[in-house]
Chain A
Amino acid sequence: MKENLMDIICCPLDKHDLELDVTERDDEEILAGTLTCTECGETYPIEDGIPNLLPPDMRDEAPA
């Protein structure tokens, strides 16, 4: 994902803003990191350049 995606996405549960924490980057592209909801604190991973915004209750039944 690219950083300007932050302008669009929000927490799928309460629709509040997310905070980006990057752990791996390749030029413009964010490859790994986390997105944390500024309201409920739920954390969503970024894996292989793709943010995983599945609500936590669906992560288990939908394995990567």
Chain B
Amino acid sequence: MKGQEWYQQETVVESYEDKRFSRGGGRLTDRLEKAAVFESLAPVEDKKILEIACGTGRFSVMLAERGADMVGLDISAPMLGEGRDKARRTGVDDHMEFMRGDAARLPFPDDHFDSVFAIRFFHLVDEPEAYLREMARVSKGQVVFETYNRFSGRSLYNWALPMGSRLYSRSEVDSMIEAADLRLTGETHEFVVPFGLYRKLPGSVARAFRTVEETIDRTSLGDRLASISYWNATVE
């Protein structure tokens, strides 16, 4: 899997949230992503939710704070250590568990969770169908995942990523969903401007960009240029 080693270097982990989500435009994307995740899963209270590739628990801890019974799985021990500390600091550790595991061979029985989701994950994998099928196996209801789109503003800057991201066309996503015996119930297309660019902008410039972006996002042109999509599916 791409990035497997990169995400496990302690130096990367220590600066991960600080560099990406705590300043300027990064803080804006953090807020927008969290809102998108929450909206796709809400209501979350007392729901059993699994996050695949939870990293430092940015989304998992947020959902636990809103009352979800959370499990976060990742391959990286340093990332999970950060997440565990954060869960303790925010006082959600009585209903939030972290574990290391392989997303292709999950350590859970069939149909256990109400919802299973993965954000910023599918661009890293080589065999997306197998991963989506495994997510569907352990969910008894909902599966939410996000993809980076093949035809978008992102294509222009993809070379700048630390690893080549896998980009998805609409038909690839449709066939993955079908192969996993899922049914698509909703979709959201976001971010004409890719995250990586936002992160480099000061907060005020990023907000101005966002205003323009929201206007374009509402048009069909915006959907075609969207760099990421959230797919909301249900187990058949």
Contacts and interface: CB of A to CB of B under 8 A. Distances in A.
Interface of A: 1-2, 5, 8-13, 15, 28, 47-55, 58, 61-64
A12 B106 contact: yes
Contacts of A49: 84
B112 interface: yes
- Place the interface of chain B in its size category: 20 to 34
A34 to B, nearest CB: 14
Contact of A50 (B100, B109, B110): B100
Given A2-B94, A15-B110, 17 more contacts: A8-B71, A8-B112, A9-B99, A9-B108, A10-B108, A11-B107, A12-B107, A28-B94, A48-B77, A50-B84, A50-B99, A53-B100, A53-B101, A53-B107, A54-B75, A58-B75, A62-B75
Overall SS of chain A's interface? loop
B18 interface: no
Overall SS of chain B's interface? mixed
B204 interface: no
B229 interface: no
B198 interface: no
Interface string B103-128: 00111111010000000000000000
A2 B93 CA distance: 9
Contacts of B94: 2, 28
Contacts of A13: 105
Contacts of A50: 77, 80-81, 84, 98-100
B96 to A, nearest CB: 10
Contacts of A11: 107
A27 to B, nearest CB: 11
